[in-house]
Amino acid sequence: MFRRDDRELVGGITLSNIRRGVAQIGTVGYWAGESFARRGYTLDAVRALSGFSFSRLGLHRLEAACLPENDPSRRLLLRAGFDLEGKASAYLKINGDWRDHLLFGLVAGAAARGRTDL
């Protein structure tokens, strides 16, 4: 992710684990540099990636996850239209420890309803 006015790197976003066939799903991941966090860059990137994934790639569903204590990431996903779907125990190994994550999903057609009240 690059800032528009000066093209400075502000973070990154990925679409991975794309599954075709009956699923048509992809997994979204993102990060932002500390000095660029909570300025809307990541929200804009998640919304753009969602639109691209549904319209150009023909995916039906996107998934994302975050640590339960990561309130900014949780709010970002909700504002981008994702629904909180549950918790996965010991989902990813981070710094040598298996960590629980909250799981989020977004289905094509629901992306336009992103929340702004969070």
pLDDT score, position 102: 98
Question: pLDDT truncated to tens, each residue of the chain (118 aa)?
Answer: 999 899 999 999 999 999 999 999 999 999 999 989 888 899 999 999 999 999 999 999 999 999 999 999 999 999 999 999 999 999 999 999 999 999 999 999 875 555 544 4
pTM, full prediction: 0.88
pLDDT score, position 118: 47
Cross-strand pairs, 98: 93
Token pair for 5 = 């006015």
* Length of the chain counted residue by residue: 118
From the number of C-beta atoms within 10 Å of its C-beta (0-12, 13-18, 19+), residue 27 rates as middle
Rounded Cα distance between 19 and 26, Å, is 6
- Closest alpha carbon to 46 in 2, 6, 15: 15
Residue-range domain boundaries for the chain? 11-112
Q: What is the DSSP code (8-state) at residue 34?
A: G
Rounded Cα distance between 90 and 55, Å, is 33
**What residues contact 23, with CB distance under 8 A and at least 6 apart?**
60, 61
Rounded Cα distance between 94 and 74, Å, is 18
In CATH, what number does 11-112 get? 3.40.630.30
